[in-house]
């Protein structure tokens, strides 16, 4: 018998949470299932004023409008993060130097360098190695007769892929997941002293390791067409190079950006297939019908992966700051207003998606915002889609009758939605 992870919430309870909604004081049942609350906010207060004066957006069209207007809305987080982390702290330096929390020209320079190593051809070249990695993990699961969807499968894949991109030796990869979880965990709206201390320590330890790795790579460069670290070190031919701090902090960012979100994509998908058995059976049937037609199977899984991304967005929240007076959703926002973009809510917006609370693995024209939109759209989206397609598709083909053996344990975070543990058996 499967253990289903669904956590229903009454409209009365959702209304109670929505009425007093505060990102810094969220109850436990919200983390289990935020979507009824998001739905009520979209209906009644799509631009919800937070107690701290920020604005919480839940409509798809409003998020797209903000993403499109990079001149009015800044991604720079110095104003927001300095009081949160404290001047001079490792977390502040990291989160205000990395690609995602900066505006042009730094954002443009770093993104261009990263994208140069994530070309369509480079990503296609990764697929054979990814298949071997996934099959090796599946072999281990088969020998044990099950395991944990997160620890034994979902989290192992992006750590290896990003480790390969940066050229991190295999024997050095064990701490990467822990560092990433701690640094990203410090982005939560409410930060405990323990989370802050662990986040600062993780940034310091990670930078210390990267300093040695960069020094070694300067002596022995890799192929800049595939080695992101070498490409970042060398910069553009005849162009400006990154400073040492920019270089190291964006290496930390690359691991973080490619690790937890992809882990969540794979883990959320495999748990969702347990919650939606008819969709699981239908997906299996389509893959069986595709048989050895690799192109057909790829198309089936590509459509499914985009629906998994929409339905349970790995990254649920984004942030911007209005740099001048601007109008969003019919509401005037003053310069300096902090805006939270609720990706998880926008991806369940009935104005954009038919039957938004239904998992439909054949959904077409799926304009979800799981990767953001505009100039800050995720630089690694093609790689994430490849990892999701290969990992989920090969898992399902290999173990079509897998079942959860205990309730999955959520990470308990508002920004990044995923599981810490999901025990399962093969039959």
**pLDDT digits 0-9 by tens, 315-368:** 999 999 999 999 999 999 999 999 999 999 999 999 999 999 999 999 999 999
Domain boundary assignment for the chain? 39-399
| pLDDT score of 156 more than 70 | yes
The token pair that represents 132 in the structure block:
């071997």
pLDDT, the chain, mean: 93
Is the confidence at residue 24, as pLDDT, over 80?
yes
Alpha helices for 276-380 (secondary structure H): 277-290, 294-311, 343-346
More confident residue, 178 or 105: 178
H and E: helices and strands count for the chain: 17, 12
Q: Cα–Cα distances in Å, from 293 out to 43, 297, 319, 396?
A: 44, 6, 42, 16
Per-residue pLDDT band for 165 (boundaries 50, 70, 90) equals confident
Long-range contacts of 354-363 (CB under 8 A, 24+ apart): 357/35, 357/39, 359/272, 359/275, 359/276, 359/279, 359/307, 359/308, 359/311, 360/279, 360/307, 361/279, 361/282, 361/283, 361/303, 361/304, 361/307, 361/308, 362/282, 362/303, 363/303, 363/306, 363/307, 363/310
Please tell me the predicted confidence (pLDDT) of residue 243.
87
pTM (2 d.p.): 0.94
Q: pLDDT class for 3, splitting at 50, 70, 90?
A: low
Name which of 6-10, 14-18, 290-294 the model is least confident about.
6-10
Q: ω into residue 105 within 30 of 0, thus cis? A: yes
Quick one: pLDDT at residue 110? 84
β-bridge pairing 338-342 and 55-57: parallel
What is the enclosing helix (H) or strand (E) of 146? strand 146-148
Domain 39-399 has CATH 3.40.50.720: no
Contact predicate 236/245, CB 8 Å: no
- According to the model, what pLDDT value does residue 122 have? 86
CA nearest neighbour of 163 among 254, 31, 63, 78? 254
Taking 70 as the threshold, does the pLDDT of residue 248 lie above it?
A: yes
DSSP state of 322: E
């Amino acid at each position: 018998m499967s253990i289903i992870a669904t956590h229903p919430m009454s409209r009365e309870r959702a209304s109670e949470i929505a009425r007093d909604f505060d990102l810094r004081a969220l109850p436990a049942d919200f983390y289990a299932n935020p979507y009824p609350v998001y739905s009520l906010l979209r209906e009644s207060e799509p631009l919800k004023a937070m107690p701290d004066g920020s604005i919480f957006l839940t409509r798809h069209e409003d998020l797209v409008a903000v993403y499109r207007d990079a001149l009015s809305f800044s991604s720079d987080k110095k104003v927001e993060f300095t009081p949160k982390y404290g001047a001079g702290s490792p977390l502040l330096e990291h989160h205000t130097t990395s690609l995602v929390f900066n505006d042009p020209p730094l954002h443009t320079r770093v993104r261009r360098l990263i994208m140069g190593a994530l070309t369509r051809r480079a990503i296609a070249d990764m697929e054979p190695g990814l298949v071997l990695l996934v099959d090796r993990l599946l072999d281990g699961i088969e020998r044990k007769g099950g395991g944990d969807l997160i620890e034994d499968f979902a989290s192992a894949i992006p750590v290896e892929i990003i480790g390969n991109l940066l050229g991190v030796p295999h024997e050095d990869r064990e701490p990467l997941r822990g560092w990433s979880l701690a640094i990203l965990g410090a982005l939560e709206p409410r930060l405990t002293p323990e989370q802050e201390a662990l986040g600062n320590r993780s940034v310091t330890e990670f930078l210390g390791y990267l300093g040695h790795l960069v020094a070694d790579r300067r002596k022995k460069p890799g192929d800049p067409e595939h080695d992101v670290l070498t490409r970042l070190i060398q910069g553009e031919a005849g162009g400006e190079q990154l400073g040492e701090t920019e270089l190291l902090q964006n290496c930390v960012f690359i691991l973080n950006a490619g690790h937890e979100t992809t882990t969540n994509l794979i883990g959320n998908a495999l748990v969702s297939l347990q919650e939606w058995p008819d969709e699981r059976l239908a997906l299996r049937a389509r893959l069986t019908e595709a048989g050895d037609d690799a192109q057909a199977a790829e198309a089936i899984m590509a459509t499914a992966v985009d629906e998994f991304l929409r339905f349970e967005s790995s990254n649920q929240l984004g942030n911007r700051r209005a740099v001048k007076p601007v109008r969003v959703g019919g509401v005037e926002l003053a310069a300096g207003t902090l805006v939270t973009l609720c990706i998880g809510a926008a991806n369940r917006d009935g104005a954009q998606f038919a039957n938004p609370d239904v998992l439909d693995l054949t959904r077409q024209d799926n304009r979800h915002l799981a990767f953001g939109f505009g100039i800050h759209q995720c630089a690694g989206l093609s790689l994430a889609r490849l990892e999701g397609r290969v990992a989920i598709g090969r898992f399902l083909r290999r173990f079509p009758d897998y079942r959860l053996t205990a309730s999955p344990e959520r990470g308990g975070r508002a920004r990044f939605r995923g599981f810490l543990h999901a025990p399962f058996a093969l039959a």
